[in-house]
Amino acid sequence: MSINRKDFATGAIFAAFGLSYGYMSLTTMAVGTPVRMGPGFFPAMLSGALLVIAAFVMVRSFVRTEETPFGEVPWRAIILVTLAIVTFALTARGLGMLPGMFVATFIACTASPKISPLRGVLISAGIAAFCTLLFTIALRVPLPVFGSWFGA
Amino acid sequence: MDVFNNLSLGFSVALLPINLMYCFFGVFMGTAIGVLPGIGPLATIALLLPFTFGLTPEGSLIMLAGIYYGSQYGGSTTAILLKLPGEAASAVTTIDGYEMARKGRAGPALAGAAIGSFFAGTVATFLIALAAAPLTYLAFSFGPAEYFALILVGLVSSIALASGSVTKAVGMIILGLLLSLTGTDIYTGARRFTFGSRELLDGLDFVAIAMGLFGITEVLRNLEKSNLVAGSIAKVGRIMPSMSDFKRMIAPMIRGTAIGSMLGILPGGGALLSSFVAYNVEKKVSPNSKEFGHGAIEGVVAPESANNAGAQTSFIPMLSLGIPSNVVMALMIGALLLQGVVPGPGVISNNPTLFWGIIASMWVGNAMLLMLNLPLVGLWVKLLQIPYSVLFPFIIAFCCIGVFSMNNSTFGIYQIAIAGLVGYLLTKLECEVPPFILGFVLGPMLEEHFRRAMLISNGDVTVFATRPLSAFLLVIAMIVLVVVTLPAVNKKREEVFIEED
């Protein structure tokens, strides 16, 4: 049996949000009355509406089954770009702007297979230097050039 | 005349040296980043948003507006020289613009786009000055029920901008509304959807979400294409259009401006729709319609005038009613809120310098673009040569530092990563992000007006239907919803957006 997997997945995501947010609105918050609405009233309404949409999209995925190809999934890029951002968040204060930015952008560079490691080092060194000059020195963003791990 | 008094107040703000500088910085950065293929106005504004926080509200909005029309302008340069639309609204410009460039007439094409944009910008500035104030007074008769209905109109019309399934777009709006409620409830102080996190008490970080959804998602999409091939960059050559070019430009410029100004005001309109409609109209009415597709200057001037006019008149509902008619305006509303200015009809009376200053600065910015762009074409050509492998780590770096600098905390940076991943997944599933962002920005306002309306009416839901203005707006919302679901319109909508890719 064939289904439109994209629509089905969309419906499932909507349903997950509708159910969990609806559950939280009804159980952890006061719902109140239509005149004096509590914090849970409006989100509960929205969750209900989202569940209706979710049901509609999921049912439709069995009826209108033709789908467009999902296309290539750039796993390498997804993982490494996310890793670069998270690494910066984790190390920014410890390493500081210059080394922190260098590490993060180097990880980002490895996301593209077309950047050789040497080129990656050059690009990320350039970006780190540029960002340090622009943000830390010129715009006074409160992130020191070298962070606390360097004893600063 | 009142309008002239107001405009002169506006110019006195816009021409302050410091604001001139912000305006210049805005149009310059906007053009520079807009030129880069693969970074549209949305990503540009999201990237540069954090830089505007230290400024005064006037400075910040003047700069953001400058970034917006600057990036539009930069997009057309890329379209003409590289046949890559730097942003969606200049997609039709590639058709005749690149043909002209191939025939060695890139210079006149660029000049035509610049002059058309400037003319459109001038007209649109006056239109905004004329239309925004009366609309504001109308808005004073609005109660919570009317606002609720008006926001619904705004949300529903964002569906017209989405290319895929209407149902999914509605789902994305609701998802945006739901997530926007994260944080402390303003009426009761109760915590909502914070999962025990203290950082989430103030809600999700709007800038981080916008950067993740537009910036990072775009990076991932570009990295998925095995190679982002750019064509060869055309030579610019002589810039000044000939006398016959000028003669051929006048009518398309006026028609384009008229079309763009009208479509820009409509919710869901704005620059993108304007340029498509203007090109198609021009192709039908122009005496040189045979040349279209083979390098007709009309095919460059009309859509470029239209998209600039549309970009500017879309400020009208944002400034006067506080309702964004497209996603860029949603980002502007976000910026106003972050500046502590509550968008809506109150702005004109509480912050007249802000209101009229922005309007006047638009004209100043357009004049700067005209003077800046033609001499700097060489610089833009250099920017076009930057390979994507250098650009995308830069985008990631800017996103991280931008969000960090806003509240001096790394918490927002994680939100960028999550928003990027979720945004990419949803795009892959053909759910579009713009309706989500509109819902996310308008969610708190929608809830507030809903609660107030229900409180005033004593819990009677029919209040939305019995107050005439609110009923009228709800009918409009219904009509828009029905129209976008009609199979014929739906098909047309898809075609328009397929062309754009």
Give the Å distances, CA to CA, from A116 to A87, A113, B390: 21, 7, 12
Q: Measuring CA to CA, which residue among B78, B116, B115 is closest to residue B97?
A: B78
Q: Which residues of A touch B397 (CB under 8 A)?
A: 101, 104-105, 108, 127, 131
Contact across the interface for A81 and B219, Cβ inside 8 Å: yes
For residue A70, is it within any domain?
Answer: no
Q: Measuring CA to CA, which residue among B484, B418, B493, B453 is closest to residue B208?
A: B418
Does one domain contain both A56 and A82? Answer: no
**Chain A 34-63, CB below 8 Å of chain B: which residues?**
34-43, 46-47, 49-50, 53-54, 56-57, 60
Last residue of a domain, which of A63, A90, A113? A63
Contact across the interface for B192 and A39, Cβ inside 8 Å: yes
Contact across the interface for A77 and B175, Cβ inside 8 Å: no
pLDDT tens-place values along chain B, 501 residues long:
577 888 888 888 889 999 999 999 999 988 888 887 667 677 778 777 877 777 888 898 899 889 888 888 888 888 888 776 656 667 788 888 888 888 888 888 888 888 998 999 899 888 888 887 787 777 777 888 988 998 888 888 777 666 678 899 999 999 999 999 999 888 888 889 988 888 888 889 888 898 888 889 888 988 876 545 555 677 777 777 888 888 888 899 999 999 888 888 776 556 667 787 888 888 888 888 788 888 888 888 998 899 888 888 888 888 888 777 777 888 888 888 888 888 878 888 888 888 889 888 988 998 998 888 778 888 888 887 788 888 889 889 988 988 888 778 889 999 999 999 999 999 899 888 888 988 888 898 899 999 999 999 988 888 898 888 899 989 988 888 887 777 656 655 555 554 443
Please check whether residue B175 is in contact with residue B213, taking contact to mean a CB–CB distance below 8 angstroms: no
Please check whether residue B106 is in contact with residue B94, taking contact to mean a CB–CB distance below 8 angstroms: no
Does one domain contain both A52 and A83? Answer: no
For residue A131, is it within any domain?
Answer: yes
Does one domain contain both A59 and A84? Answer: no
Does one domain contain both A39 and A89? Answer: no
pLDDT-derived band at A72, boundaries 50, 70, 90: confident
Please check whether residue B181 is in contact with residue B173, taking contact to mean a CB–CB distance below 8 angstroms: no
The two structure tokens encoding residue B93: 């410009």
Give the Å distances, CA to CA, from B133 to B15, B125, B269, B361: 21, 13, 21, 17
For residue A121, is it within any domain?
Answer: yes
For residue A69, is it within any domain?
Answer: no
Enter the ipTM: 0.93
pLDDT for res B283: 83
Q: Measuring CA to CA, which residue among B377, B354, B364, B446 is closest to residue B73?
A: B377
Domain count, chain A: 2
**Chain A 59-88, CB below 8 Å of chain B: which residues?**
60, 68, 70-74, 77-78, 81-82, 84-86, 88
- A99 min Cα distance to partner chain B (Å): 13
For residue A118, count other CB atoms closer than 10 A to its CB. 8
Domain span holding position A83: 75-150
Helical ranges in B408-432 per DSSP H: 411-428
pLDDT for res B281: 85
Name residue, tokens 């004073």.
B140
pLDDT for res B270: 61
The answer to whether B219 contacts chain A (CB < 8 Å) is yes
Contact across the interface for A101 and B413, Cβ inside 8 Å: no
For residue A68, is it within any domain?
Answer: no
pLDDT for res B38: 64
Does one domain contain both A79 and A144? Answer: yes
Closest Cβ–Cβ partner in A39, A40, A114 for B389: A114
Number of Cα atoms under 13 Å in the Cβ half of residue A3: 13
pLDDT for res B230: 53
Does one domain contain both A88 and A137? Answer: yes
Q: Which residues of B touch A13 (CB under 8 A)?
A: 426, 429
Does one domain contain both A86 and A139? Answer: yes
Closest Cβ–Cβ partner in B167, B227, B393 for A109: B393
H or E stretch at B198: none
For residue A129, is it within any domain?
Answer: yes
pLDDT tens across B255-274, in order?
A: 999 988 888 877 655 666 77
Last residue of a domain, which of A63, A90, A105? A63
Please check whether residue B182 is in contact with residue B203, taking contact to mean a CB–CB distance below 8 angstroms: yes
Q: Measuring CA to CA, which residue among B422, B447, B448 is closest to residue B436?
A: B422
Closest Cβ–Cβ partner in B187, B223, B410 for A92: B410
pLDDT for res B498: 47
The answer to whether A122 contacts chain B (CB < 8 Å) is no
The two structure tokens encoding residue B91: 């997609």
* B304-332: burial string, b at 16+ Cβ within 10 Å, e else: bbbbbbbbbbbbbbbbbbbbbbbbbbbbb
**Chain B 467-486, CB below 8 Å of chain A: which residues?**
none
The answer to whether B181 contacts chain A (CB < 8 Å) is yes
pLDDT for res B492: 57
Q: Which residues of A touch B389 (CB under 8 A)?
A: 109, 112, 114-115, 119, 123
Closest Cβ–Cβ partner in B397, B410, B447 for A105: B397
* A131-146: burial string, b at 16+ Cβ within 10 Å, e else: bbeebbeeeebebbbb
Rounded distance between C-alpha atoms, residue B181 and residue B174, angstroms:
11
Rounded distance between C-alpha atoms, residue B379 and residue B354, angstroms:
33
Contact across the interface for A60 and B167, Cβ inside 8 Å: yes
pLDDT tens across A80-94, in order?
A: 999 999 999 999 999
For residue A38, is it within any domain?
Answer: yes
Last residue of a domain, which of A21, A37, A63? A63
Strand residue runs (E) in B166-219:
183-184, 191-192
For residue A115, is it within any domain?
Answer: yes
- B424 min Cα distance to partner chain A (Å): 9
Contact across the interface for A127 and B397, Cβ inside 8 Å: yes
The three-class DSSP label of residue A32 is strand
pLDDT for res A40: 92
Contact across the interface for B393 and A24, Cβ inside 8 Å: no
Give the Å distances, CA to CA, from B20 to B48, B62, B128, B337, B356: 18, 9, 20, 23, 14
Closest Cβ–Cβ partner in A6, A81, A143 for B404: A143
Pairwise pLDDT comparison (A67 vs B355), residue with the higher score: B355
Handedness of CA B287, B290, B293, B295 (dihedral sign): negative
Closest Cβ–Cβ partner in A9, A82, A88 for B421: A82
pLDDT for res B94: 81
Does one domain contain both A9 and A50? Answer: yes
